Amino acid sequence: MTKPQGVIRPATACDVQRIHEVERACFSDPWSTGLFAGLLAGEESGMARVFVADVEGRVLGFIVAERADPEVHITNVAVHEECRRTGIARRLLDAALSWARSLGLEEAWLEVRESNAAARGLYREFGFVVANRRRAYYRHPTEDALVMVLVLHRGATLPEPLVAASLAGGA
């Protein structure tokens, strides 16, 4: 598929239903529209940011980043199946990490299904390393999550145990 043109932009309340449509299409245990509406309300306090990939008025992907000083937690990333492997997830992740860096946050954390090789590869390209494993974290189907971390500022380093775990191939 060719790369869809469009913009990565902060989500608005008008996007909640379209975000939820992508969520339902991508996940077997989707978040509710109320949860997304609450996250967007949290943007006013600066504690969360939701970015969408808007292609000709269609939301084809989104990312949720929640601030937990001194960290940011990437809690949800989804790209509509028809647009995967087109660079949308990369652009969304870049927007969320840029937001976190602009706030001076030190680390980015996320969980990913162990079987999601494409997402794990993308996160590794950004410099994320495996820090831990959460057994049976996901439902429908039950699966382990790999916890990944990225140091956001040049010159900073990961704590020694994380480096060792990463070098050993993860948790």
Q: Please check whether the two domains, 1-105 and 109-171, share a CATH topology.
A: yes
Q: How many helices (H) and strands (E) does the chain have?
A: 5, 7
Residue range 1-105 forms a domain whose CATH class is alpha beta
Considering only CA atoms, which of 162, 113, 154, 120 is closest in space to residue 136? 113
How many angstroms separate the CA atoms of 114 and 145, rounded? 6
pLDDT for the residue 25: 92
* DSSP code of residue 12: -
Q: Name the residue ranges covered by the structural domains of the chain.
A: 1-105, 109-171
Instruction: Could you please state the CATH topology (level 3) that the domain comprising 109-171 is classified under.
Output: Aminopeptidase (3.40.630)
Q: Running along the chain, 171 residues long, what does each successive block of 10 average in pLDDT?
A: 77 94 91 90 82 93 94 95 88 96 94 95 96 92 95 65 46 44
d(CA 67, CA 152): 13
Q: What are phi and psi of 15, to 5 degrees?
A: -90, -10
